[in-house]
Structure 1
């Protein structure tokens, strides 16, 4: 099973791993695109105003540009530890046992505007680049990533569970993936997609799927695994699921 997570704009600082080695990341076929984007971000960081404009940052976020300037030399840490925010708080990778962490690193992957996709244990530095960015000399990232990333993800034979947000799903379509929508249900059974707290619920589901001893193999297994974790997950099609929001 491969669970695709969205990344986060916020990332933990520091790390104790060696500098970025693109050959150490999953799906080495993506290496040329990754290298080009790293080179572009490092070069762009030399021009602070241009970087702020391209990355849609304010002057108060200049430290994010400095992170990009140091991409090649900065220390790394596993992707599941690097990304922070609501979804990753709910995932709580830091609270996993060593066995659970091992499963999470194998089963979870994070969509990335810079790296395409990284496995949970892949060592990466802190960086700033969003799926909606358009870089000088490169253009829209969707046009860069789709030709490279879609063929790679299409070869994943395992069950793929897609929890990505819209902007990151647009970087590569995965037609055979099972998609998950977070919903609420009123007293008449009408369902409405949830935007607020969407990430927290996906984080809880990702934790359940990542840490269960028996790896889910199909939609029915996904529903059972979620139920065991106290989550209500319901199939709405062959490759579509509704995850019901619960009170915090």
Structure 2
């Protein structure tokens, strides 16, 4: 099973003496050239015209430090992506506190999507940065559109080799980077988090519930190999799961707390 995750806006910087990112060492090497192209434009923009960079990145004056940090991405200390991304979903997932077996499953099954890197494994060492999927760089244009071709050339083989479900927990902005098609679409499961009797969509608890859900699957043992197996596994873990379309490709997780 592959789990497709969004990044987080909040990121933890690597240790001060950590080695910088090496693009050639990242997983999914078919994305190396595309990563270099985005990294080059982003760092040049932030180093050469900070005011323009703030406008492009949608940052206020108080976040000018993010532009300075972006300008130094090639030399900034890197850390595993699983430690760099913070925020509600990643706090609930708690990668750093998984037992060794669950950690191995996380390393094999989690893919984090990114406006800068395209997609990463949790072990890929990257610096903290600011560049969402909604950014439009002056030369490259919208990053969601830019990444579609490179990711479409690389990810189908990854998903085909895995052979199990694709649990897609990405937000809409990151689903736009890559959409499974054909047989892979038939194996893709999306999840909504709804509140109790009203069945209203929740926001904060959407992220927290998805993080806990992934953690529970990773710690329960071998990941499900089929869509019905995934639905059954979530129910066995105590989740209230509904199938609004009558199949296992769209699941609603009903929670009582918001």
1:108-119 equivalences in 2 (<5 Å): 108-119=110-121
Where 1:26 maps in the other structure, the secondary structure is: coil
Partners of 2:37 and 2:129 in 1: CA distance: 15
Residue 62 of structure 1: how far off its partner (Å): 1.3
Where 1:223 maps in the other structure, the secondary structure is: helix
Partners of 1:238 and 1:232 in 2: CA distance: 14
Task: Number of aligned residue pairs: give it.
Answer: 245
Counterpart contact for 2:231–2:248, Cα < 8 Å: no
Q: TM-score, normalised by structure 2?
A: 0.89
Where 1:102 maps in the other structure, the secondary structure is: helix
Residue 224 of structure 1: how far off its partner (Å): 3.0
Partners of 2:255 and 2:154 in 1: CA distance: 32
Structure 2 runs not aligned, ≥5 long = none
Residue 17 of structure 1: how far off its partner (Å): 4.4
Aligned to 2:201: 193
In the alignment, is residue 11 of structure 1 matched against residue 11 of structure 2? yes
In the alignment, is residue 241 of structure 1 matched against residue 247 of structure 2? no
Q: Which whole-Å deviations, capped at 9, do the CAs of 1:167-225 have from their partners, x for residues lacking one?
A: 11011112322111112241xxx633323421111111111223332121112222233
Q: Which whole-Å deviations, capped at 9, do the CAs of 1:20-48 have from their partners, x for residues lacking one?
A: 11122221111111000110111011111
Aligned to 1:51: 53
Aligned to 1:182: 193
Partners of 1:153 and 1:233 in 2: CA distance: 28
Q: TM-score, normalised by structure 1?
A: 0.92
Aligned to 2:170: 164
Q: Which has the higher helix share?
A: 2
Residue 230 of structure 1: how far off its partner (Å): 2.7
Q: CA RMSD in A?
A: 1.7
Structure 1 runs not aligned, ≥5 long = none
Residue 80 of structure 1: how far off its partner (Å): 1.1
1:102 corresponds to which of 101, 104, 108:
104
Residue 116 of structure 1: how far off its partner (Å): 0.8
Where 1:183 maps in the other structure, the secondary structure is: strand
In the alignment, is residue 225 of structure 1 matched against residue 225 of structure 2? no
